[in-house]
């Protein structure tokens, strides 16, 4: 009965594309012992299952965008079923639809926002797209600064911990900060 009353613990890892969310999210989820739902992992799995070379070119931007929407919907549909989860995606802080879906999740939310100058995020995004091992599900090769600005702030639904991703990540220190923030959320 006590487990049924235990509130979910949700860590959102957000930030602009190219800011290092995956680099933060994977070790954070592992160290916390939480499940990880990554939008890009879901998108790449959907691409593998649905890509039809006869219908879509590997760099089909429209298909890639539809997969992105499907991946975000899948992530948000699965999240309520994970008692302890790290959600890693480029959440848009001014999207009422995304904010509403995140706010409706059952549990305590702590957000880790990957802070990076937007010019650097634009550079990293383009650099990542040029790598030969970059997954073909991601057809967009560049992102203009004006569009990158869509991700310039945390979603801000719970306690926010900002991480400067222009520097090396201290996973242990971040894990401790997240654990403390989750405890604070329990006290509220």
Whole-model pTM: value is 0.88
Tens-digit pLDDT profile for the chain (188 aa)? 344 446 899 999 999 998 999 999 999 999 999 999 999 999 989 888 887 776 666 568 788 888 899 999 999 999 999 999 999 999 999 999 999 999 999 999 999 999 999 999 889 888 877 765 566 666 667 778 898 899 999 999 999 999 999 999 999 999 999 999 998 876 65
* In-domain check, residue 69: yes
Q: What is the structure's pLDDT at 188?
A: 59
Strands (E), the chain: 9-14, 35-38, 84-88, 108-115, 159-164
* In-domain check, residue 6: no
* In-domain check, residue 104: yes
Q: What is the structure's pLDDT at 4?
A: 46
State phi, psi for 97 to the nearest 5 degrees: -65, -50
**How many domains is the chain partitioned into structurally?**
1
* In-domain check, residue 56: yes
- Coil vs helix vs strand at 183: helix
Using CA of residue 141, residue 127, residue 175, residue 180, what is the dihedral sign?
A: negative
Q: Do the beta carbons of residue 50 and residue 64 sit within 8 Å?
A: no
* In-domain check, residue 91: yes
Per the DSSP assignment, residues forming a β-bridge with 109 are: 10
* In-domain check, residue 135: yes
* In-domain check, residue 2: no
Q: Do the beta carbons of residue 163 and residue 169 sit within 8 Å?
A: yes
For the chain, how are helix, strand and coil distributed in percent, rounded to 5? 50, 15, 35
- Coil vs helix vs strand at 116: coil
Residue count of the chain, please give it: 188
Q: Residue 142 is part of a domain; what is its CATH number?
A: 3.40.50.300
N-term to C-term CA, the chain: 22
Residue range(s) defining the domain that contains residue 137? 12-187
* In-domain check, residue 7: no
Q: What is the structure's pLDDT at 171?
A: 94
State phi, psi for 88 to the nearest 5 degrees: -115, 115
């Amino acid at each position: 009965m006590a487990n049924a009353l235990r509130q979910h613990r949700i860590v959102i890892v957000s930030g602009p594309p190219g800011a290092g969310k995956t680099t933060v999210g994977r070790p954070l989820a592992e160290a916390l012992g939480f499940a990880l739902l990554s939008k890009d992992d879901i998108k790449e799995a959907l691409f593998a299952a649905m890509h039809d070379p006869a219908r879509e070119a590997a760099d089909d931007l429209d298909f890639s965008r539809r997969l992105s929407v499907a991946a975000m919907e899948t992530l948000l549909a699965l999240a309520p079923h994970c008692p302890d989860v790290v959600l890693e995606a480029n959440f848009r802080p001014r999207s009422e639809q995304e904010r509403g879906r995140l706010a409706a999740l059952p549990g305590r939310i702590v957000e880790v926002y990957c802070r990076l100058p937007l010019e650097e995020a634009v550079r990293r995004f383009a650099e990542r797209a040029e790598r030969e091992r970059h997954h073909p599900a991601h057809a967009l090769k560049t992102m203009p600064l004006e569009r990158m600005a869509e991700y310039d702030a945390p979603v801000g639904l719970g306690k926010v911990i900002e991480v400067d991703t222009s520097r090396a990540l201290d996973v242990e220190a971040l894990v401790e900060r997240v654990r403390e923030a989750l405890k604070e959320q329990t006290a509220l």
